[in-house]
Amino acid sequence: MSGAVFAAVFIALYIGHSVGDHWVQTSHQSATKGKPGWVGRLADARHVATLTATKLAILLLTATVLDLDIPVPGLVAGLSVDALTHWWADRRSTLAWLARVTGKAEFYSLGTGTHPAHPVTAAGRPAGHLGTGAYALDQSFHHLWLLVAALIIATV
Protein backbone atom coordinates (compact mmCIF):
# COMPACT_ATOMS: atom_id res chain seq x y z
CA MET A 1 0.00 0.00 0.00
CA SER A 2 1.14 3.50 -0.65
CA GLY A 3 1.57 6.33 1.80
CA ALA A 4 -1.31 8.08 0.06
CA VAL A 5 -3.66 5.20 0.92
CA PHE A 6 -2.51 5.30 4.54
CA ALA A 7 -3.02 9.08 4.66
CA ALA A 8 -6.53 8.86 3.19
CA VAL A 9 -7.46 6.04 5.57
CA PHE A 10 -6.14 7.95 8.59
CA ILE A 11 -7.99 11.13 7.63
CA ALA A 12 -11.23 9.22 7.09
CA LEU A 13 -10.86 7.45 10.45
CA TYR A 14 -10.01 10.71 12.20
CA ILE A 15 -13.09 12.46 10.79
CA GLY A 16 -15.23 9.39 11.51
CA HIS A 17 -13.94 9.38 15.08
CA SER A 18 -14.79 13.03 15.60
CA VAL A 19 -18.30 12.66 14.16
CA GLY A 20 -18.99 9.34 15.89
CA ASP A 21 -17.62 10.38 19.27
CA HIS A 22 -19.37 13.76 19.40
CA TRP A 23 -22.41 13.79 17.08
CA VAL A 24 -23.49 10.14 16.92
CA GLN A 25 -22.87 9.15 20.53
CA THR A 26 -26.01 9.69 22.60
CA SER A 27 -26.11 11.61 25.85
CA HIS A 28 -27.20 8.39 27.57
CA GLN A 29 -24.18 6.50 26.23
CA SER A 30 -21.85 9.30 27.28
CA ALA A 31 -23.28 9.49 30.80
CA THR A 32 -23.55 5.73 31.31
CA LYS A 33 -20.53 4.11 29.59
CA GLY A 34 -18.23 4.67 32.56
CA LYS A 35 -20.59 3.21 35.16
CA PRO A 36 -19.57 -0.02 36.86
CA GLY A 37 -21.00 -3.37 35.84
CA TRP A 38 -22.99 -4.43 32.83
CA VAL A 39 -24.94 -1.18 32.56
CA GLY A 40 -21.71 0.69 31.80
CA ARG A 41 -20.21 -2.07 29.67
CA LEU A 42 -23.29 -2.29 27.46
CA ALA A 43 -23.63 1.48 27.08
CA ASP A 44 -19.97 1.59 26.07
CA ALA A 45 -20.49 -1.30 23.63
CA ARG A 46 -23.45 0.52 22.01
CA HIS A 47 -21.33 3.68 21.71
CA VAL A 48 -18.43 1.79 20.14
CA ALA A 49 -20.77 -0.01 17.73
CA THR A 50 -22.22 3.27 16.40
CA LEU A 51 -18.78 4.89 16.43
CA THR A 52 -17.27 2.03 14.41
CA ALA A 53 -20.20 2.09 11.98
CA THR A 54 -19.64 5.82 11.49
CA LYS A 55 -15.91 5.30 10.83
CA LEU A 56 -16.67 2.47 8.41
CA ALA A 57 -19.22 4.54 6.48
CA ILE A 58 -16.86 7.50 6.12
CA LEU A 59 -13.95 5.23 5.22
CA LEU A 60 -15.97 3.35 2.58
CA LEU A 61 -17.22 6.62 1.09
CA THR A 62 -13.65 7.93 0.96
CA ALA A 63 -12.36 4.69 -0.57
CA THR A 64 -15.10 4.77 -3.22
CA VAL A 65 -14.59 8.41 -4.18
CA LEU A 66 -10.79 8.08 -4.28
CA ASP A 67 -10.86 4.58 -5.80
CA LEU A 68 -8.76 3.13 -2.97
CA ASP A 69 -8.08 -0.58 -2.76
CA ILE A 70 -8.57 -1.45 0.90
CA PRO A 71 -8.14 -5.14 1.71
CA VAL A 72 -10.97 -6.61 3.81
CA PRO A 73 -8.64 -8.41 6.29
CA GLY A 74 -6.83 -5.17 7.03
CA LEU A 75 -10.12 -3.31 7.38
CA VAL A 76 -11.52 -5.88 9.82
CA ALA A 77 -8.30 -6.07 11.83
CA GLY A 78 -7.76 -2.31 11.98
CA LEU A 79 -11.33 -1.46 12.95
CA SER A 80 -11.32 -4.26 15.54
CA VAL A 81 -8.16 -2.96 17.22
CA ASP A 82 -9.59 0.55 17.17
CA ALA A 83 -12.95 -0.57 18.60
CA LEU A 84 -11.41 -2.64 21.39
CA THR A 85 -9.04 0.12 22.50
CA HIS A 86 -11.80 2.73 22.30
CA TRP A 87 -14.10 0.57 24.44
CA TRP A 88 -11.29 0.05 26.99
CA ALA A 89 -10.50 3.76 27.32
CA ASP A 90 -14.14 4.82 27.47
CA ARG A 91 -14.81 2.71 30.54
CA ARG A 92 -13.17 5.76 32.20
CA SER A 93 -11.70 3.97 35.24
CA THR A 94 -9.23 2.30 32.87
CA LEU A 95 -7.98 5.58 31.41
CA ALA A 96 -7.86 7.14 34.89
CA TRP A 97 -5.69 4.19 35.97
CA LEU A 98 -3.40 4.69 32.96
CA ALA A 99 -3.07 8.38 33.84
CA ARG A 100 -2.12 7.47 37.43
CA VAL A 101 0.51 4.88 36.49
CA THR A 102 2.09 7.21 33.92
CA GLY A 103 2.27 10.17 36.28
CA LYS A 104 -0.52 12.11 34.54
CA ALA A 105 -3.12 12.02 37.37
CA GLU A 106 -2.87 15.75 38.07
CA PHE A 107 -3.30 16.58 34.39
CA TYR A 108 -6.20 14.10 34.20
CA SER A 109 -8.03 16.13 36.86
CA LEU A 110 -7.33 19.47 35.15
CA GLY A 111 -10.54 21.44 34.65
CA THR A 112 -12.36 19.68 37.48
CA GLY A 113 -12.97 20.65 41.08
CA THR A 114 -10.44 18.03 42.21
CA HIS A 115 -7.50 19.73 40.48
CA PRO A 116 -5.37 21.80 42.89
CA ALA A 117 -5.57 24.84 40.59
CA HIS A 118 -9.18 24.45 39.47
CA PRO A 119 -10.81 27.65 38.22
CA VAL A 120 -13.27 29.31 40.59
CA THR A 121 -15.71 32.20 40.40
CA ALA A 122 -15.41 35.31 42.55
CA ALA A 123 -17.73 33.52 44.99
CA GLY A 124 -15.27 30.60 45.24
CA ARG A 125 -17.46 28.13 43.34
CA PRO A 126 -16.13 26.02 40.45
CA ALA A 127 -15.98 28.11 37.28
CA GLY A 128 -16.87 27.04 33.77
CA HIS A 129 -14.07 25.92 31.47
CA LEU A 130 -13.49 24.69 27.95
CA GLY A 131 -12.38 21.16 28.71
CA THR A 132 -10.64 18.78 31.04
CA GLY A 133 -7.38 16.92 31.19
CA ALA A 134 -9.38 13.68 31.17
CA TYR A 135 -10.94 14.65 27.83
CA ALA A 136 -7.58 15.65 26.34
CA LEU A 137 -5.97 12.38 27.43
CA ASP A 138 -9.00 10.41 26.18
CA GLN A 139 -8.85 11.97 22.73
CA SER A 140 -5.07 11.67 22.38
CA PHE A 141 -5.31 7.98 23.38
CA HIS A 142 -7.94 7.44 20.67
CA HIS A 143 -5.86 9.34 18.10
CA LEU A 144 -2.87 7.08 18.78
CA TRP A 145 -5.02 4.01 18.09
CA LEU A 146 -6.48 5.62 14.96
CA LEU A 147 -2.91 5.79 13.68
CA VAL A 148 -2.35 2.11 14.52
CA ALA A 149 -5.65 1.17 12.87
CA ALA A 150 -4.79 3.12 9.72
CA LEU A 151 -1.39 1.41 9.55
CA ILE A 152 -3.04 -2.00 9.91
CA ILE A 153 -5.72 -1.24 7.33
CA ALA A 154 -3.20 0.09 4.83
CA THR A 155 -0.64 -2.70 5.23
CA VAL A 156 -2.45 -5.97 6.05
Nearest CA-CA partner of 111 in 94, 127, 125: 127
Q: How confident is the model at residue 113 (pLDDT cuts 50, 70, 90)?
A: low
Q: Tell me: the pLDDT tens digits for 60-99?
A: 999 999 999 999 999 999 999 999 999 999 999 999 999 9
Percent of the chain whose predicted confidence (pLDDT) is above 90: 78
pLDDT attached to residue 97: 97
Tally Cβ neighbours within 10 Å of residue 34. 16
Alpha-carbon gap, residue 100 to 136, rounded angstroms:
15
- Average pLDDT estimate for 149-153: 97
